Amino acid sequence: MKAFSFEKPSSIEAAVAALGAEETLPLAGGMTLIPTLKQRLADCAAVVDLSGIAEMSGISLEGDMLVIGAMTRHAEVAGSDVVMKAIPALAKLAARIGDQQVRHRGTIGGSVANNDPAADYPSAVLALGADIVTSKRTISADAFFLGMFETALEPGEIIVSFRFRVPEKAGYAKFASPASRYALAGVFIAKRGDVVRAVVTGAGPCVFRAADIEDALMKDFAPHALDRISIDSTDFMSDIHADKQYRAHLAVVMAKRAVKAALEEGGS
């Protein structure tokens, strides 16, 4: 790891100002940034630690909107009575991220901003149609995830909070790698009125909505509605853990499990 300066601002304004300097990177939980710097896959002149900004942490329910600060730790989301009551699937998703150490250091904002293709939170953000509030603007989930490790965030722009609309029903299921606990394939399902959103993670270069699954569930919100569904694996990933055809198969299986979980858990 190369030497760099370290700053810990106490306000969003000060953080944005610090990030305006060249070769400066934001630090949330550090679950990706620190290993990347240690392996010299990236370097910087300065790191700006966001953990001192109080207004970027916390969980609240505002009407039918669940608001979670970007610096809120995975363990806090998993253990929150507010989240468990509003969107139990989101709390249970957070409880299965990584191991105990990762859950107590990693943050929802850091995970979503990093947009790892196998991360859990992006699937929930997209399936729930969340709004991502940044230091500059509000971005809809549909416009946020652009590609592998790529988002709509501009240089120096940081995520401040997430606003999740509470669904009628929601569920998440993933087939996790036994080593990393990242998803080889995971599916988050959310239902609000006649609209169903189904989002796949871990299978492609970026989270994506599965239209065939959504169409089938809008006709019949039940696991058996997916019995004859298959997903085109052309753009899926193949690696030492699973090939693209297996990931496509897993996506359908996980979708069925997510629907079952949604029916058992509800959404609010």
Output DSSP code: residue 70.
T
1-51 CATH fold: 3.30.43
- pLDDT digit string, tens, across residues 113-125: 999 999 999 999 9
Yes or no: say if 73 and 103 are a contact pair by the CB < 8 Å rule.
Answer: yes
CA distances from 36 to 51, 77, 114, 261 (A): 19, 25, 12, 36
33-57: pLDDT as tens digits: 988 988 888 888 999 999 999 999 9
Structural domain boundaries in the chain: 1-51, 169-265
User: For residue 267, is pLDDT > 60?
Assistant: no
> How sure is the predictor about 178, in pLDDT bands with cuts at 50, 70 and 90?
confident
Span 118-133, average pLDDT: 98
Q: DSSP per residue over 215-231, as a string?
A: HHHHH--SGGGGTT---
Give the per-residue pLDDT at 266.
Answer: 56
The pLDDT mean for the chain works out to: 95
Is the pLDDT at 138 greater than 70, yes or no? yes
1-51 and 169-265 in the same fold: no
| Mean pLDDT computed over 197-202 | 98
Q: Which two tokens stand for residue 232?
A: 């085109």
CATH fold of 169-265 reads Enolase-like; domain 1 (3.30.390)
